[in-house]
Structure 1
Amino acid sequence: MFTSRKKRAAGALVIAGALGVVLAGCAGGSAPGEAASTYDPDEKVELDFAFWGNDVRAELYDEAIAAFNEEYPNITVDATFLAWDEYWEKRQTEAAGKDLPDVFQMDMTYVRQYSENGLVLDLTPYLDGVIATDGYEQNVLDIAKVGDATVGMPISTNALGMFENPTLIEEVGVEPFGGGDWDDYDDWLRTAREAAEESGIEAWGASNPTGFIQTFELALRSDGKSLFTEDGEVGFTKEELAEFWDRGVELRDEDVVTPQQRLEELAPMSGFDAAKQLTEITWDNFGAGYLANLGAAYPEVNLVAPPVTEEGAKDLYMKAGMLMSGAATTEHPEAAATFIDFMANSPEVGAIFGTNRGMPASETQRDGIEVDAIAQQILDYEESIADRLGDPPPVPIVGYGSIEAKFKALGQELGFGTVTVDDAVDQLFAEIDVILNQ
C-alpha cells in the first residue's frame, strides 16, 4: 500500500526495468454512457496506479494518496513510478497483454494511440457526477476527447521554455543569453563554453538543442508548419530535417554543447540539473524538480523564452502537461474515476504538488496551490510569451510516441557521431512511413 511515509510498506514504490515491445492491437473500452454504476463505497477496493517522475514526485504522490485515503479509506492505491522512457516501455508491454494499471498518467503523445486501440476507460459517464468538471474551461476538457470519448482528465498545462542557472552562469563568467534567434543562441553557446574552459569549470551552455523533436517543431511552427497535418500527413521535408540536424552536428564538432558521452554518465539526471549546463530548453513545469536536484549550491533557476526562428512567429503553444487516465480493463471503473477526480480537482492535492506537474488545469485545484517562487515564475513566464502563443498542433497521430522516441535516439547517435545526418533522416522517414502505412 502506498500511503503516508509512516505507513508506507517497503517496496511500495517500485522501479522496474521493462523491455519495449510493439503495441499490439487491443480491444476493449466502453462507449459513452455504457458504464453502469456498480460501485459500493464500503467495498474494499485495490487500485494500481502508475506515473512517470522521480523521487521528488513520488514523495508528493505519497502525500496526495494519504490525503485521498483519509476521505476514501476503503480504496487502497498501489503506486509505482519510472523515468519517462522506461515508463512508456512498461506501459506498452502491459498494453500488449491488456494489463494496464487501473489508473495511470497519460501524455498527449499517446492519447490517440491508446484510445483508438480501446485501451483507456471512457470517462464520459462519470463527468459532472463522480468527476467534477466545473473547475475546467471547456477547451481544456476537450483536450482529452477523441471522438465522443473522454479518455483522460487534464491535470496540468504548460509551455516550452528555457531554464537558466544564474549561479553557474556567474561562476563561469558569462552574461546570460539575452534573447534572439537560434544563430544568436549558437554564438552564445560558443561564448559560454570558452568562458567555462577559461574558468576551469566543467560546463557547457546546453545539451544539443537539435536532439529533441520539440525544438524542431518550434522551427516548423515559425514557418506556419507542423510535424503532422490535421490529416495525419508529414508536415516537413527531408531537406528541412537535414538542415536542422546539420546545425547540431556543427555544435557537437565544436564541443560547445554537452557531449553525449557525458550525458550518458550523468543519467538519470540531465546535464542541467547535474549543474553541467547553463541552460536547458524544456517544458516550463520542470523548475521544482531542477531545484531539488541542484541543491543548496544552486538555489535558483530562471525561466525565459527559448530562441525564436522568426520574430513575430506563433511558434509556442499551451500543452496538456499530463492527463490522468483509467484502463479499459479495470475491474473498478467508478473507484478509478473517484481517484482520478481527487487527483485532478482536489485543492489539497494542488497544495501538495504546487507546479510539480505543471500549472493545474482545474481552477479548483489551482485555488489550492501556494503561489511560491516557482509557481509565480511559471505564471509570469506564460504571461510574457502571450504574443508568441499560437493554436496547439493537431492531436498526435497514432504511433507518434515511437516517432518521438526514434527522433531522440537518432539525436543521441548523432551526438556520438555513429550516424550521418543523411542516414538519420532516412531512418526517421522510414520509421514514419511504417507507422503511417501499418
Structure 2
Amino acid sequence: MFEIRKRRTAVAAAAIGVSAALALTGCAGGGSEPAATYDPNEKVTLNFAFWGNDVRADLYDQAFAAFNEEYPNITVNSSFLGFPEFWEKRQTEAAGGGLPDVMQFDYSYLRQYSENGLLLDLDPYLGSTIETDAIADNILGIGVVDGTTTGIATSTNAWGLYTNPKLLEQVGVAGYEGGGSWDDYADWMKQVTTAGSAQGISGGTDWTGRIQNFEIQLRAEGAELFSEDGEPGFDKARLAEFWEQGAEVRDPAITIPQQRLEEIYPLSGFDAAQTASELTWDNFGAGYLGNLGEGYTELGLVAPPITKEGAKDLYLKPSMLHTISAKTDHPEAAATLVNFLVNSPEVGAIFGTNRGLPASETQLEGADLGGLDAQIRDYEESIQDRLGDAPPVPIVGAGTLEEKFRQIGQELGFGTLTVDEAVDQFFNEMDVVLNQ
C-alpha cells in the first residue's frame, strides 16, 4: 500500500524575515547526467515540499494516491508551509545541503537556486522520463536558466482582482467591474467599508504592500521591475510615489487596518471574510473558497486597475514549477514524480486550477473546468488585450526583495516607517542583493 507521510506544519506566527544575502555558495552537488535507469522494483522514498494550505495538501494527497496506482514502490513524504516560511526553510536547507528531493518552486527563486547549482539539470530527462509533447515550447522555456532546464512549469496564471459577492450582497454594494483607475478602485473600497463598518467588513487591503502591483504600474509605463542584467526599472522617486498611494488608502475608512491583518494571520482579510476584494494571482481562488468555508460557493474575478489605458501591463507567468534537488539520491524516480504531477490527466482532474491553468495539454484535458476553474480560464481570455511579454527570468535575490517589500508594507501599515524611510530601506536591501 502506498505510504504518504505528511508533516503538516501549521503557520501560527508572523512571517519569518527572509535574510538579505543567501548563503548558497558552495552548496552545489550532483551533475547533469541522469543516474542509472530507474528500477521499478526498488523501494524509493522521496521528500516533497510545497507551500499552500490544507486545501492544497488534500489535493496533493489525492495526486500521490493516484501516482501510487502506477508506482506503488515510491513513498512520498510531503510537507508544507506558508509562502514566506517555505522559503526561509529552503534557505536553511540549501546552506546545509539538504533540499527536499522534489519541490514546488516559485519563479522568483529559480535563477538564484539554479545559478548556485542547487537544482538538477532536467534536460537529460526531457522527452523521455519527463514527457514534453503536450507542453508548448514557450512554456518549457520558462524553466530554462542560462541554457539549462531546471524547472518544469505546472501551470500559468495572471494577476487579477478577486471579489466576494456574498459579502457585497450583505453590505448592499455592487461588485467592482474591473479595470478603471486606481482611484476608482479606492473609491469603491471606501463605499464597501462605509457600508460594512458595523459588520467589520472592509473594501480591501492597501495595494502598495504587494510588489506585483508596483510591477504592473511600471509595465504600464513601459518599464520592468528589473532588466535581464538586474538593473532596476525605477528610481527612488518612483517608488516613493507608489508608496504614497498607500498613504491615501491606508485610512481605515477605506482598507482593513494592519493590526487586524496581524490578528487573523495566516489568513488574509479576504480569506477571513473581512475584506470584499483582494489583488492576487488568479489561481488563489480555490484556496480562498476552501478557507472561507461552508456557505461560500463563488467569487468574482475581474481585471485589476490600470495605470494607462491600452498598456500591456499584465502577463502570464508560471504559477509554480516543479524542481529536483541536485543532490537527490533518486533522480530518475524524482523525474518520474515530476512527470506525473505535470502531465497526468488524473492530476488535472484533482487540482483543476488550484495551481493555475495546467500548462500540459494532457493535464488540461483531464481537468473538468467548471465553476471557479472555468471562471479563471475565462478571465485569462478576457485580459488578452492587456497581456504583454513576460518579464525576464527573475534576478538572483528576487524572492528576497519581494519578501522585503511585503515586510516594509506591513511597517507602513503600522505607521512605524515614513515613506522616505521605507524607500531608503528597500534601496539599501536592493544594493545588498544586487551586489552580493
- Common fold: TM-score over 0.5: yes
Which secondary structure does the structure 2 equivalent of 1:285 belong to? Answer: helix
- Given that residues 29 and 122 in structure 1 are in contact (C-alpha distance below 8 angstroms), is that contact kept between their aligned partners in structure 2? no
* Correspondence 1:135-284 to 2 at 5 A: 135-179=134-178, 180-197=180-197, 200-253=198-251, 255-284=253-282
User: How far off is 1:68 after superposition?
Assistant: 0.9
**Which residue is 2:123 aligned to?**
124
* Correspondence 1:359-374 to 2 at 5 A: 359-374=357-372
User: What is the percentage of aligned positions where both structures have the same residue?
Assistant: 59
Q: Hey, which bits of structure 1, 4+ residues long, moved more than 4 A?
A: 14-22, 29-32
Which secondary structure does the structure 2 equivalent of 1:286 belong to? Answer: helix
- Given that residues 113 and 397 in structure 1 are in contact (C-alpha distance below 8 angstroms), is that contact kept between their aligned partners in structure 2? yes
**Which residue is 1:430 aligned to?**
428
How far does the alpha carbon of each residue in 1:240-292 deviate from its partner, in whole angstroms, 9 at most, with x for none?
11111111012113531111110111111110011111110100111111111
**Which residue is 1:329 aligned to?**
327
How far does the alpha carbon of each residue in 1:347-384 deviate from its partner, in whole angstroms, 9 at most, with x for none?
11111111111111111111111111111101110110
Cα distance between partner residues in 2 of 1:39 and 1:244: 52
How far does the alpha carbon of each residue in 1:136-161 deviate from its partner, in whole angstroms, 9 at most, with x for none?
00000000001221101110100000
**Which residue is 1:288 aligned to?**
286
Cα distance between partner residues in 2 of 1:292 and 1:306: 23
Cα distance between partner residues in 2 of 1:227 and 1:20: 20
**Which residue is 1:340 aligned to?**
338
User: How far off is 1:37 after superposition?
Assistant: 2.5
Q: Could you tell me which amino acid in structure 2 is paired with residue 13 of structure 1?
A: R
**Which residue is 1:88 aligned to?**
87
User: How far off is 1:345 after superposition?
Assistant: 0.6
Q: Could you tell me which amino acid in structure 2 is paired with residue 195 of structure 1?
A: A
Cα distance between partner residues in 2 of 1:36 and 1:20: 34
Which secondary structure does the structure 1 equivalent of 2:46 belong to? Answer: strand
Which secondary structure does the structure 2 equivalent of 1:257 belong to? Answer: coil
Which secondary structure does the structure 2 equivalent of 1:204 belong to? Answer: coil
**Which residue is 1:69 aligned to?**
68
* Correspondence 1:344-423 to 2 at 5 A: 344-423=342-421
Q: Could you tell me which amino acid in structure 1 is paired with residue 189 of structure 2?
A: L
User: How far off is 1:191 after superposition?
Assistant: 1.7
Q: Could you tell me which amino acid in structure 1 is paired with residue 429 of structure 2?
A: E
1:318 equivalent to 2:316? Answer yes
- Given that residues 15 and 80 in structure 1 are in contact (C-alpha distance below 8 angstroms), is that contact kept between their aligned partners in structure 2? no
- Given that residues 240 and 423 in structure 2 are in contact (C-alpha distance below 8 angstroms), is that contact kept between their aligned partners in structure 1? yes
How far does the alpha carbon of each residue in 1:197-227 deviate from its partner, in whole angstroms, 9 at most, with x for none?
2xx2211111111110000001100000011
Cα distance between partner residues in 2 of 1:154 and 1:254: 39
- Given that residues 204 and 275 in structure 2 are in contact (C-alpha distance below 8 angstroms), is that contact kept between their aligned partners in structure 1? yes
How far does the alpha carbon of each residue in 1:331-355 deviate from its partner, in whole angstroms, 9 at most, with x for none?
1111110111011111111111111
Which secondary structure does the structure 2 equivalent of 1:312 belong to? Answer: coil
- TM-score, normalised via structure 2 length: 0.95
- TM-score, normalised via structure 1 length: 0.95
**Which residue is 1:108 aligned to?**
107
**Which residue is 2:56 aligned to?**
57
- Given that residues 110 and 398 in structure 1 are in contact (C-alpha distance below 8 angstroms), is that contact kept between their aligned partners in structure 2? yes
User: How far off is 1:298 after superposition?
Assistant: 2.9
Q: For the structure 1 residues 305 and 8, does the alpha-carbon distance in structure 2 shift closer, same or farther, using more than 3 Å as the test? A: same
Cα distance between partner residues in 1 of 2:26 and 2:416: 36
User: How far off is 1:30 after superposition?
Assistant: 5.2
- Given that residues 14 and 81 in structure 1 are in contact (C-alpha distance below 8 angstroms), is that contact kept between their aligned partners in structure 2? yes
Cα distance between partner residues in 1 of 2:368 and 2:134: 18
